[in-house]
Structure 1
């Protein structure tokens, strides 16, 4: 289904029915709330949806989907709004805005956390912290847990507890025909499989239930080095990862520095029951250079995640590129350092995420997520202020991606791949691709719903 398939009469019909359902929570172009309802974290996104429906419960979502299907109005879902490519806003389509659905319930006895479809990582970790529980999240508190989880969910607890999707126990989903269903190991196991890695392409997820873990504190923080020390720091980081236990997950990369020159960083999270056992590992990381900043210490997990709160400001322009690396060898180190030295903006960054331990012990066929070998995820984040030319920043990000390509694995993390990279999306799923394609045809045969990753037309044709 494309926006071209929607007639003016279809949109008018949808407006009439949605207005009766939602009242002033339906936004049309020209309405006072429409601009705010279609403003994302990435101000570079320029999309023109036909309507925005702000839903407050699953039955409203289901009825909105039924209306969209009858009116041939394509659907996208706005949850956390942190998809850099703007796929939450579908040109000519209906945006289901779930940002008002953020309720979180914690069951301490069962060690589970249940969250509505618009809840952010901050919502979950704040609620869980009251019970000394944690949920496996990404590194940024403001990201929606649904979008993060459905396509992967790399994070600081990856080694000990796996990806966010590995901790998804079940979900409530509105399918493309408007039916509300449960997906878990005992109810629609095929949908449950597809949701864990295949994104939101199979329905609108209105509730997620996560396994929680008792973890009063982590040993975490930032160790920052001058750019000149980056080659030695990255080489030492690579060597240390080969020995790291499950309890230690370490990010690295480059962040904006106070003088405008990037700085290299290491960000360890040690999540073992005895935090003192993590201190020798942190000491080894410190010894890789002469730290300019050393702020590692015991912290509640919810507080440790605040380290990245100010890193990516709403309203700037963003462009992302990504590669999967099997290891950080000499060629990849040289490419990363060279890119940091030639950075096109003082706001840009590179983050290298560590995938190992519990996440790598899941069998590839058990979830839709396609890569279960130990690896590093490189996230190239080009950032510039509104009004600036895009070309220097695109060239910088594309240049680093190309320089890393000879050392990279096929595909890449679907949550970060660009819409113009459908071949890499397919490669990312490997042997799971055909099963995922069948699931798309089964649950959304008319391609009503778009999500991250956007499955290319060949995935659900026929």
Structure 2
């Protein structure tokens, strides 16, 4: 390493202390451990500074100071990335968790959120107006990170991915410049942000299209593992003909007796509740329900269904596949994985991509897959005292078993940092344009975000 590349931590600390005062945290501070702790306790990263920012101007100054002092940078918004890319060893954390302001414009039909807002923040603010934004399935996930790389969720069929509803983003670039990206301003950055993740800058504010959905028919129907093959076959037939208004998850969740249960989670967000009820009755007929909890719910309560799915302090590892269909071989592989699960905390989820999300042009955003499919999320979870090996082996074996039925690539928000080959495959024909955008907006690779893009210098 040359002398000019040596990080100047002392200088960075002085400059950031002048800027932020007590909102700069160093390892000796009482709050530092909490500020660098993630929900996935398997992540072991040791940043050296946490910069708790209050607005975009402070974010810009922190980015410039980190660059000037040659310190690596990471961005913590929701901090929900399972691989922990919100933290970097020896780095400065641009902490947006205090920036959670939400503004609702009912007349314009928009919701504008600061960079640290969660999906729950946005949905709660829209609820008095009967407005929702497209989100993922969990309230605590940061809305920026979810939106930038995709955003599968309960409204996917009716309104598309979260990124399909992004109207504008305010961004701090790697050199500290503050820019706006929308169709009329920096349109190439706007294109890249919708699917390319946090690789181009720090998104300090997003404006999202809002939708009037006062309530949805939603809930959970669960069956015993002995009925899993029939349930998944029924699910396959159902999603093949589901209308836009109906988006359905399925998979396996831990059961009270230690054996997984197969679940089907419908969300019908249409105007005709009778249509929704007919589909729910069809789901009930897949087998003999052990749990049958479906009701008309405010969208905020729809997202509460998975609140207990991730236990802070446990260890997690995720694997993912895109399935263009659900042939019997894939069904059997999923059921076998459930029977062989290595931990009572682990789960498998199938996310339903259809409807409005498939009618966006493949080149209109950076997101690379616009044909109907199921996103498989393999979630290995275990207690901190357990050895990681058996759980990693279970997740990897499940991924391998599904590979013959899968499309290339996978959902960039879930791919592991080392899976850069699959990241490139995920973007398909968009990959070269995306890499050019990375080189244009972040030529020095300041942002190592989700997804982890390979080295871009010299890329075509």
Q: TM-score range by the shorter chain?
A: over 0.9
- Aligned residue number for residue 193 of structure 2: 195
Is 1:88–2:86 an aligned residue pair? Answer: yes
Residue 164 (structure 2) aligned to one of 163, 166, 179: 166
Alpha-carbon distance in structure 2 between the residues aligned to 1:159 and 1:5: 52
Deviation at 1:344, TM superposition (A): 0.3
Deviation at 1:4, TM superposition (A): 11
Is 1:207–2:209 an aligned residue pair? Answer: no
TM-score by length of 1: 0.98
SS in 2 for 1:207: strand
Deviation at 1:460, TM superposition (A): 6.7
Deviation at 1:93, TM superposition (A): 1.4
CA change 1:3–1:392 in 2 (3 A) is farther
- Aligned residue number for residue 13 of structure 1: 11
CA contact (8 A) 1:445 1:460 kept: no
Deviation at 1:276, TM superposition (A): 1.9
CA change 1:123–1:5 in 2 (3 A) is farther
Gaps spanning 5+ residues in structure 2: where?
none
CA contact (8 A) 2:251 2:263 kept: yes
- Aligned residue number for residue 313 of structure 2: 315
Is 1:150–2:161 an aligned residue pair? Answer: no
Alpha-carbon distance in structure 2 between the residues aligned to 1:217 and 1:384: 35
- Aligned residue number for residue 268 of structure 1: 266
Deviation at 1:69, TM superposition (A): 1.4
SS in 2 for 1:331: helix
CA contact (8 A) 2:443 2:457 kept: no
- Aligned residue number for residue 395 of structure 1: 393
Alpha-carbon distance in structure 2 between the residues aligned to 1:252 and 1:371: 20
Alpha-carbon distance in structure 1 between the residues aligned to 2:38 and 2:234: 38
Query: Which 4+ residue blocks in structure 1 deviate beyond 6 angstroms?
Result: 2-5
Alpha-carbon distance in structure 1 between the residues aligned to 2:191 and 2:16: 32
CA contact (8 A) 1:415 1:452 kept: yes
CA contact (8 A) 2:40 2:313 kept: yes
Is 1:284–2:282 an aligned residue pair? Answer: yes
SS in 1 for 2:129: coil
TM-score by length of 2: 0.98
CA change 1:296–1:167 in 2 (3 A) is same
CA contact (8 A) 1:3 1:74 kept: no
CA change 1:262–1:122 in 2 (3 A) is same
- Superposed counterparts of 1:10-89, under 5 Å: 10-89=8-87
CA contact (8 A) 1:419 1:454 kept: yes
Alpha-carbon distance in structure 2 between the residues aligned to 1:404 and 1:185: 38
Deviation at 1:355, TM superposition (A): 0.1
Alpha-carbon distance in structure 1 between the residues aligned to 2:447 and 2:3: 15
Deviation at 1:351, TM superposition (A): 0.4
CA change 1:234–1:459 in 2 (3 A) is farther
Deviation at 1:297, TM superposition (A): 1.2
- Superposed counterparts of 1:39-438, under 5 Å: 39-438=37-436
Alpha-carbon distance in structure 2 between the residues aligned to 1:145 and 1:127: 13
- Aligned residue number for residue 454 of structure 1: 452
CA contact (8 A) 1:43 1:317 kept: yes
SS in 1 for 2:363: helix
Deviation at 1:13, TM superposition (A): 1.2
Deviation at 1:210, TM superposition (A): 0.3
CA change 1:460–1:44 in 2 (3 A) is farther
CA change 1:62–1:256 in 2 (3 A) is same
CA contact (8 A) 1:438 1:460 kept: no
Deviation at 1:438, TM superposition (A): 0.5
RMSD, aligned CA: 1.4
Q: Which moved more, 1:271-280 or 1:253-262?
A: 271-280
Deviation at 1:240, TM superposition (A): 1.1
Give CA deviations for 1:27-62 in whole Å, capped at 9, x if unaligned.
Answer: 122222211111001000001112111101111001
Alpha-carbon distance in structure 2 between the residues aligned to 1:461 and 1:435: 10
Give CA deviations for 1:122-145 in whole Å, capped at 9, x if unaligned.
Answer: 000000111001100000000000
CA contact (8 A) 1:3 1:92 kept: no
Deviation at 1:454, TM superposition (A): 1.2
Give CA deviations for 1:161-193 in whole Å, capped at 9, x if unaligned.
Answer: 000000000010001110111000011000000
Alpha-carbon distance in structure 1 between the residues aligned to 2:176 and 2:211: 34
Alpha-carbon distance in structure 2 between the residues aligned to 1:50 and 1:286: 53
CA contact (8 A) 1:44 1:318 kept: yes
SS in 2 for 1:433: helix
Give CA deviations for 1:41-95 in whole Å, capped at 9, x if unaligned.
Answer: 1000001112111101111001001111111222110011110000000112111
CA contact (8 A) 1:120 1:142 kept: yes
Alpha-carbon distance in structure 1 between the residues aligned to 2:389 and 2:235: 32
Deviation at 1:6, TM superposition (A): 5.2
SS in 2 for 1:73: coil
